Structure 1
């Protein structure tokens, strides 16, 4: 049993209840730390995404080709490369 005043001072605590409260507080702290880490990771990923889009737009402006046609060209190049060096075998 926890007896507390308005200032949240604990006067008397049952050891079992204290352990339960400590576990709850630890879970809350871990959840806050996990949320903070996820926000940090998301901010980093967002920064890289913006950098990538900026690079694509610069290349599009320089070459005059839209981004999707450039990607299609890269995929076509990869398909030709794999077809040349790893030809499909007919059974």
Structure 2
């Protein structure tokens, strides 16, 4: 015969393991999404560099300047 208290403890332990696996899986998905967005941003920066001739840092400086001038003026 199975002790009800022991069965309950075992079920709780198994549920914790399942939740931990799901949490790990979700974190991996989030990291994959972040990596994809980073690649898209890098690709966009390289395409703009090829089109305008401005390097990546000059592009960022231009964007920052535009944002600052929008709020200052």
Correspondence 1:36 to 2:42: no
Give TM-score scaled by structure 1 length: 0.74
Question: What is the deviation of 1:32?
Answer: 0.4
**Structure 1 residue ranges without an equivalent (≥5):** 1-11, 85-91
Question: As a proportion of its length, which structure holds more strand?
Answer: 1
What is the number of residues matched between the two proteins? 73
Compare relative contact order (CA 8 Å, sep 6+) and give the higher one, 1 or 2. Answer: 2
Larger Rg: 1
Correspondence 1:68 to 2:57: yes
Give TM-score scaled by structure 2 length: 0.90
RMSD over aligned Cα, in angstroms? 1.1
Question: As a proportion of its length, which structure holds more helix?
Answer: 2
> 1:48 maps to what in 2?
37
User: 4+ residue stretches of structure 1 with deviation over 6 A?
Assistant: none
Correspondence 1:78 to 2:70: no
